[in-house]
Amino acid sequence: MNWLAGQKGGDRLVQFVGAGVWTDGWRSLKRKDGDSTLLIGGIEILLRNAKAILQQGGEVRILQVVRSKSTTERNRAWLVNLLRRPKPDSRLRPLHIKKLIGLYRTAGLFTDKQTKHRLRTKLDRVIASRTGVSVRKRVNVKIPYDTHLKKVGIRRSTERVVDLAIDEKILADFVKTRIRILWLRNRSLAELLHNQKRYASEVEHPCACRGKDLPKRGGHVLTRFSELEVTDFVRNSKNITRPALTHGSDKIAEAIFLATKHLKRATTPVVKPGDVLMEQCHATTAWTDEGIRTWKGRFEGLVLAPIDRNQGDTAVMCPVLYRHGFRKTFAWNPNYVQVGALENEEAVLKESKDEFGKRGLAAIGAWRPDGRLGMAYVIPKHKDLAGWRTIAPAPVDPASLAQRRVARALHQMLK
């Protein structure tokens, strides 16, 4: 029928072979082309009513091919009309939930992002007013990664909560498609070991070298993990640890409840350990986070810092050496001006914001309300641990937007 619909001209003569099996399936053919007009034995008849006659075989003249639109096509036409002639939400509320869900699905087929957003927001508002459930919000179950957990079991447990929270089966089935099981990243060795920011100040810390059987320079500990007898896993600070305890069913139930609490009627589920925990899992060489903290105790009182140009390695040094390097790089350097301690950051930001506004810089770029100054520190160099590399991070600088625009203008002037 697809080929016949594309042919130009009048009626077409088709030879049918007597049989009881349809190549494309009779239901599909009847749904799509059931209103087509046939001429059989001098009598006009619709295709949907001619099944028994066609299965007997013979010549059939097709007078007119009428293709029925699919549900998606009808929904798309309905949405296009809604865009051309907007209707208030009250005009959409009488629609059946199945129709609203179908329209919401079809809205995702539009290519323009603004159009897609307008339609989805409007339909979600109508569905939420009818059922109290927002279908735009995903059900994100966030759990730290663990090889002992079964992702399929967690998803099935979440689906059971959705079934209990939503009475409408059509709506519940659609909300299930919004479920996502998200693995949260476990902590790296660098996050558990490195403590240089604690010592990045002019506050004096006592020497902790006495009794430490570690390489020293000038009477103070100064070495790196690659020079010590440590295991391969601890030697690379980029390695990721694993949780000390497998997350029990109670923790998983709490994560599912937090992900589904926007459904209002959702309750904390009863999760059976056998549904979400594997009986057997692959062995791993990764250390646990508790094991790393215990192992770190042998370096109590010492500074553990990353090394410049070799981020996998870790430097071990006395706090006295680190404080001297910090003061030499920042405090004693005339190129830097100390504006205050970390405790005074809020007051410094307020003063800077006032000055930013007085200078009229807000016209270039807005002040970021959640910005922070960041904490400066130093890390030793790879070739010589006695050398220092300054680190002044500013990932959330309040004036970053204005700075970028000014820098872009300067670059254009220099071209």
Structure tokens at 63: 């007078």
The reported pLDDT for the residue numbered 23 is: 67
C-beta atoms surrounding 349 within 10 Å: 17
Which candidate, 194, 187, 248, places its Cα nearest to that of 225? 194
DSSP 291-328: HHHHHHGGGTTSEEEEEBTEEEEEEEE-HHHHHHHHII
Amino acid (1-letter code) at residue 85: R
First-to-final CA distance of the chain: 64
The reported pLDDT for the residue numbered 7 is: 52
Residue whose structure tokens are 């009477």: 219
Binned average pLDDT, 10 residues per bin, the chain of 415 residues: 52 74 75 82 86 82 79 90 92 93 94 94 95 94 90 94 93 96 94 94 90 92 94 92 79 92 85 84 83 94 94 94 93 83 82 93 93 90 93 89 94 91
Distance CA 78, CA 201 (A): 65
The reported pLDDT for the residue numbered 55 is: 82
Distance CA 369, CA 362 (A): 12
Helix, strand or coil, per DSSP, at residue 144: strand
* Contact indicator for 181, 170 with CB cutoff of 8 Å: no
Domain extent listing, the chain: 2-64, 71-131, 139-188+240-276, 193-239+289-407
The reported pLDDT for the residue numbered 182 is: 95
Distance CA 240, CA 402 (A): 37
Which candidate, 290, 298, 317, 116, places its Cα nearest to that of 199? 317
Helix, strand or coil, per DSSP, at residue 174: helix
Question: What's 9's DSSP letter?
Answer: S
The reported pLDDT for the residue numbered 4 is: 54
* Longest Cα–Cα distance in the chain: 112
Angle ∠(144,148,151) on CA atoms, nearest 5 = 65
* Contact indicator for 68, 32 with CB cutoff of 8 Å: yes
Distance CA 12, CA 237 (A): 76
Distance CA 67, CA 247 (A): 56
Question: What's 178's DSSP letter?
Answer: T
Distance CA 89, CA 87 (A): 7
Distance CA 411, CA 62 (A): 71
Give the list of residues 6+ apart from residue 262 with CB closer than 8 angstroms, or none. Answer: 133, 134, 137
The reported pLDDT for the residue numbered 297 is: 93
Distance CA 203, CA 298 (A): 23
Distance CA 287, CA 66 (A): 68
